[in-house]
Structures are given as C-alpha cells and as structure tokens.
A and B are shown apart, each in its own frame.
Chain A
Amino acid sequence: MSKTILSVDDSASILQMVKLTLAGGGYSVVQAMNGADGLAKARGGGIDMVLTDLNMPVMNGLAMIRELRKLPQCTGVPIIFLTTESAANMKQEAKAAGATGWITKPFRQDQLLAVVRKVLGA
C-alpha cells in the first residue's frame, strides 16, 4: 500500500507540481485548497503525511497545523510546510505549532522527494 500525503496549497500550479512529483515517487496524494479544507480531509483519517503552504485564505497553514495536532489520528504524522520566507521566526512559529519540518520555496522536484523520504521513509 502506498502512503498517502495530504497536499494543501491555494496555488493550483503548486498543487499539480507536488502531485506529479509525489506520484512519481510512488505516493498517493490527496489535495486541499486551504486550511479548512485540509483539516476536513485529515479528519477522515488515512493520511500518512501533510505537506502544506502557510499563506492561504480561509484558514492559514499555522492555524491548520495547530488544529491537526489536536486530532488523535494526526499524532505522529509528519507535517511539512512550504515557506518562501526562509526567515527563522516563521520556522520557529510553525514548529511551535506542531510542524515536523519545512521546505523552502522555490524547490526542485528532487528536493521535495528527498524531504518526503526523509520524514516518511521510502
């Protein structure tokens, strides 16, 4: 059974690029367009990892991560956030919210796969 990754981003092009990359690495991808949507899909269970943008409408990434960590089905699930600001304070804040790691935009496809493999295993 391939592992399922929840990809949350308000940019359709990023979503598509992430999906192509991860599908190529043998993972299944579930997509969501904002934090609230992502949270709803995570509640359904069966998610092995979350990959999320931080800046999104309706519910931003930080708020979603905090809510995700309250779900029992998300205990121990790696949450990786995408950030354009490589600023340390953003990382600190996201980690404090419960994120596992990050990836800095812009990224290459192989970098994305490497990070996913690092926290999720092959």
Chain B
Amino acid sequence: MSGNDPAQTYRQEAADLLDQLEQALLDLEHTPGDADLINTAFRALHTIKGSGAMFGFDAVAAFTHHVETAFDRVRKGEVAASEPLIAVALAAKDQIRRLIERPDDVDGAEGAAILDRLAAALAAPANTPPSATTTWRLRFRLPRDAMAMGTNPLLLLDELRSLGACTVTADTSAIPPLEMLDPTACYVGWEVVLVTDQTRSAIEQVFLFVLDEMQLDIQQLSDRAPEAKPAAPPAHADAAAARTGSSIRVPAERLDDLMDQVGELVIAQSRLKQIAASSRDIQVKAIAEEIERLALELRDTTMGARLVPIGQLFGRFRRLVHDLSHELGKDIDLVLSGEDTELDKTLIERLADPLIHLIRNAVDHGIEPPAQREIAGKQGRGRIALAARHLGHEVLISIGDDGGGLDRALIRQRAEEQGLLASGTYLGDGELFQLIMQPGFSTAHEVTAVSGRGVGMDVVRRAIDSLRGNIDIASQPGQGTEITLRLPLTLAIIDGLLVRVGQGRYVIPLSAIEECVELSAEDDTRSRGHTFLNIRGSLVPFIRLREVFATGSEPDPFQKVVIVSAGEQRVGLVVDQVIGDHQTVIKSLSKLHADLGAFSGATILGDGTVALILEVAHLVEHGQQHVDTRQAAE
C-alpha cells in the first residue's frame, strides 16, 4: 500500500469527512438549527474543498465550494437548514464522493442539477419559526374490517404527516398468531405525536370516513412547539469526535478467539433455528430469525475484520523476482494487479510459501533465457503477471508468465517413466498438467540453484489443498503458462448444503454446487450401464454416494442429484435427500482420519450430531476416473 501518496491520504481523509458530513446532515433533520451540527457540516465541507484544491482534485473543490457557501449562510443564520436544503446537501455529498472515487465516470449534468436544486432550496423563504404550533398525541385503532372496506391506513398516516412533523409508533399487541391471522383484517393500532399548526377538527378530518366506527383519542400535549432543544448534549460532540478515529490495532489472537466464539454462536444458533422451526410459538420464531440475522451479520463482520489486502504479500515478491532474475541472468518484469483484494489474514500467511515456489518456477523454468526468447521472436525482457481477484465466495490468484509454456511431450514421457501414467492413455491438457503436481515429478532439464531441488509442485499442491483450494494450470506452447489458485475466502465457516445418504448426513460446500436435480426413474435404470446424466444437452457423469459410502439401507424412492463443479469438471452426486442449507463451522478431522480424501472436515449439526463435509475436488476426480476407466473399457 502506498502510505506516502498524498492523493491517497486525501481520499481517505475525505471519506472520513464525508461520513461525518452525512451524520451531521441526518442528525440535523431531527434537530434543525443545532449549531454544533451545522458547524460540523460546514467544517467538513470546508476541509474537503481546501485540501481538494491542494491535491489536484479541482472538480471536487469547485463543486464543494457551492455547498460550502450554502452552509456558511446557514451558519450565519441567513438561511434555515430546511428539509429541502438537507436533502440536496445529501445528494451533493454523494456527488462529492463520486467525484473523489470515480472522477472519470461522473455525470456533469447531475452535478449541475444538484447545484440548481441547491440554489432553489436557498431561495425558498427561510422556514420562519412555526407559528403557534401545538403538539398533539393521537391514539387510534381502525375498525377490523377497515382495510377490506377500502381504507388504507398508510394513506391516513401520510395525510397526518402532511399536517406537520409526526412520530408514529405502531401498537402490534393485538396481532394474533399466524394461523389465526386474517390477512385482510387490520390489527394494528397507532400512536402518533404530531406537531402542527392545524386545529383538532383538521386532524379529525383526516379520519372523516372512518370516524364513526374507529377508536380515536386526541390529546393536546403542549401549546407551543418544544422550544429549540437545549444545545446538543456534550456526549454528542464526543461521539462525533470518536467517529473520526478510523482504525485500531488488535492482536491477531483476539480476532482468532472472536472467530472461534462466532463459530460456536453459529452452531448454537442453528440449534435454536431447528427448535423454532418445530415450535408454534410465533415469539420464539421471531427471536430465532432475529438471532439468525444477527449471527450471520456478526459472522460477516468478524470475517471482515480478519481481512487484509493481499498487496502486502505481493509487495514482497518484487524483491524476490528482481534478485532471482539477476542471479539467472534474465530480465523480468513483475506486473501486479488486484493488490487491494482482501483475504483472511491466516490465508495470506499460508499462501506466502506456495506463491514463492510458483514464482521461482516461473522465473527459473517459465521464462526462457534472453537469447532463446529472441530466437522465438519475443522481447528479451520477460514478464510475470501476479493477479488476485474475488469470484463469488472464492479468491483467484494467478501467476502467469510469457515463457515457453509447459512441454506436453516431456511431461507425458516423464510421467510414463515414473509410472504415473499408463502409456497411451488419453489425457486432456488440464489433466496432463495436473500430473506435474504429483510427488517427485520434475521436468527441469537441469537442476539450477533456484529451484528443482526435488521439491516440486506437489508441495504447492499440498499447501493449497490444506487451504481447501484448487489449482488450475493453463499453458500454450511458446506463449507461456498461467497457474490459477482458487481459494475459499475464509477457513473457518462455510455455507453448505446438508444432504442425507442412507442414515448419514453430509455437508456439500455451497460454493461448489451448481444445481440440484431429481434422478428420474428413467435415468436411474438406464444408468446401470453408464452413469451419465443429460443436463440440458451436456453429459455429466454422476456417482452414487450410497455406493461410495457403502450404505446398507434401502434407497429413498426419489433420489436427488447435486451437481458440483471443481475447476472445469462437473460431477453429479446422487443422494437420498437434500435437507437444506446449513451454516457450517468446520472442525478438522483427527489425525487418524486426516488421510480420508473424500472428507475435508466435520461439523456439528443443530441436534448435536456430526455431519462430514465432502471434499468436492476429490469426489470430482473420483467421478472422472470412473468415466475414464469406462471410456478406456469401451
């Protein structure tokens, strides 16, 4: 990260100021005329304008100037901070943010329109202090059949709001349990505190058509408008100041503890959800839903707190590439992109070694020596591109070089020599390249000082496997190689689909699932010979988990197929029942079971039982092998 770039510092500062401005404006809506809030808004605008001009954000400065002038007038009491003015100031704030963050695609016309509205809001007669307003408290309850008879309570409330400032509270105590609820009946009562200069009969007029049948109680609370609120309490100023502090340092262990606790909370919450689902008590259901929402938000926030940009890791590689290319007499550029992609902190730490290995490979074996490059008609200077980006719930990190590409023939020859491949087996590029990640595999012609000491791609693969990631390799002869690591965003919790196979329950990571279909009786019987499913015209092999897990019990009459994907391959997993989605806190398997490739871990279900988490990549591989043996046999 470029901590010394003043433009970046300004962006950060402006973002904080804009947040303050927004807070002040929103608070002003409730306490118009609060001098502190007006000052806060003015100061924020002033600083954004002043610093903007200094750091070359001229458009920002020019635009902000108008808004600042408006608030200067508000500050001096020449204009009231009326609702239209605050509304337009909020729009202006958004415009400033756009000007700072994406100056290139800002619509100039929109800015001009905002300034026009600003001028109009300033020209409007200043909200003279409301004359002799009265505060009323209304309590009302409509006839139960009012909505069916064409009365819309929302319109009544809107009409009340048009009389003056309104605070509406709904009384929901009369709403019956769901099963007894008549959806067209009106169960809600309202309490409204209304500040208006209108008379009691004007208020009653709102309820004209229902007045005879409804319960309406109108009380006068005070004669005058509540006098301008006493200057904002000091606590308010403190809070505003506290908001400016933008970051704190926290030991990583604390975040880990927090994550553990959130994990436990998620488990407890899913138990609660299960109990609530079978309960008829609407209150319990409501609380369970509330807690589910909070737990998920807490999970996301906690994960967010553990995220750090991958840029700091990428930064280390500049030096690495520089040093290595010197050592080998090569000339190589390292091009970075997506440095601000955020990843779990632990993930980043554990990625360092595999990435170093891949970069060394690219420098050593990927990029050819300059002389050889020139013969091939390429620039003498090689190029390694390191990129990161988010894709759904995954992070993709790719290391590409413009070197000679992988040598298919050599890989095949070595693989056959080492007994990894029966000679003559047909393999696609993707599968052939996967072979270089087998233990002990190496094609390097010579052992150089940099890499090729017998520690090959298998180390990388093991490291990425342990992070529940995948490796895709693409290569074009003479044009280069690109290795893409696909990693889950976090290690601790995943969204999964809970399925049942026989008596056992299993979790399939949701990120790997493409769709669920029913296994038709036709497919079921026909597939005794060959296990393929026709999904919209493409053939997808499937495996019966009942057979893989040797389930003894009778299969369910209607088998379901969960289509999962890993890389470019798709496989259908046949299960007895799809139970539903499940927040999965991953517990790793004991050492005893660590070698089971089919499972990546276990999780505890709401009722306290254990479900195993399926390792999709392994099953896909297994499924493909199935296909290959069949293809070979045919």
Residue of A79, A92, A121 near B150 (CB, 8 A) is: A79
A27 CB, min distance to chain B CBs, angstroms: 15
How far apart are the CA atoms of A59 and B237 in the complex, in Å?
Answer: 69
Number of B residues near A (Cβ < 8 Å) is 15
Q: Could you tell me if B150 and A78 are in contact, using CB atoms closer than 8 angstroms?
A: yes
Please give, as numbers and ranges, the residues of chain B lying within 8 Å of A77 by CB-CB distance.
Answer: 150
Please give, as numbers and ranges, the residues of chain B lying within 8 Å of A49 by CB-CB distance.
Answer: 150
B83 CB, min distance to chain A CBs, angstroms: 19
Q: Could you tell me if B209 and A121 are in contact, using CB atoms closer than 8 angstroms?
A: no
Q: Could you tell me if B155 and A119 are in contact, using CB atoms closer than 8 angstroms?
A: yes
Number of A residues near B (Cβ < 8 Å) is 18
Q: Give the interface SS of chain A, mostly helix, strand, loop or mixed.
A: mixed
Partner-B contacts on A (CB < 8 A) = 49, 69, 75-79, 92, 95, 98-102, 118-121
Known: A101-B208, A102-B209, A119-B209. A78 touches B158 (CB 8 A): no
B145 CB, min distance to chain A CBs, angstroms: 9
Q: Could you tell me if A76 and B155 are in contact, using CB atoms closer than 8 angstroms?
A: no
Please give, as numbers and ranges, the residues of chain B lying within 8 Å of A78 by CB-CB distance.
Answer: 150-152
Known: A100-B149, A121-B152. A75 touches B184 (CB 8 A): yes
Partner-A contacts on B (CB < 8 A) = 147-152, 154-155, 158-159, 184, 208-209, 212-213
Q: Could you tell me if A118 and B159 are in contact, using CB atoms closer than 8 angstroms?
A: yes
Q: Could you tell me if B158 and A99 are in contact, using CB atoms closer than 8 angstroms?
A: no
Residue of B147, B148, B149, B152 near A99 (CB, 8 A) is: B149
Q: Could you tell me if A100 and B159 are in contact, using CB atoms closer than 8 angstroms?
A: no
Please give, as numbers and ranges, the residues of chain B lying within 8 Å of A98 by CB-CB distance.
Answer: 149
Please give, as numbers and ranges, the residues of chain A lying within 8 Å of B148 by CB-CB distance.
Answer: 69, 75-76
Q: Could you tell me if B155 and A100 are in contact, using CB atoms closer than 8 angstroms?
A: no
What are 25 sample pairs from A and B whose C-beta atoms fall under 8 A apart?
Answer: A69-B149, A75-B148, A76-B148, A76-B150, A76-B152, A77-B150, A78-B152, A92-B212, A95-B212, A95-B213, A98-B149, A100-B149, A100-B151, A100-B209, A101-B150, A101-B151, A101-B208, A102-B209, A118-B208, A119-B152, A119-B155, A121-B152, A121-B154, A121-B155, A121-B158
How far apart are the CA atoms of A79 and B213 in the complex, in Å?
Answer: 17
Q: Could you tell me if B150 and A100 are in contact, using CB atoms closer than 8 angstroms?
A: yes
List 10 other contacts, CB 8 Å, given A78-B151, A92-B212: A69-B148, A76-B150, A78-B152, A79-B150, A95-B213, A118-B155, A118-B159, A119-B152, A119-B155, A121-B155
Please give, as numbers and ranges, the residues of chain A lying within 8 Å of B147 by CB-CB distance.
Answer: 76
How far apart are the CA atoms of A101 and B158 in the complex, in Å?
Answer: 18
How far apart are the CA atoms of A100 and B213 in the complex, in Å?
Answer: 12
Q: Could you tell me if A76 and B184 are in contact, using CB atoms closer than 8 angstroms?
A: yes
Listed residue (A95, A98, A102, A118) with the most chain B CB atoms within 10 angstroms of its CB: A118
B149 CB, min distance to chain A CBs, angstroms: 6
B213 CB, min distance to chain A CBs, angstroms: 8
Q: Could you tell me if A119 and B151 are in contact, using CB atoms closer than 8 angstroms?
A: yes
How far apart are the CA atoms of A92 and B212 in the complex, in Å?
Answer: 9
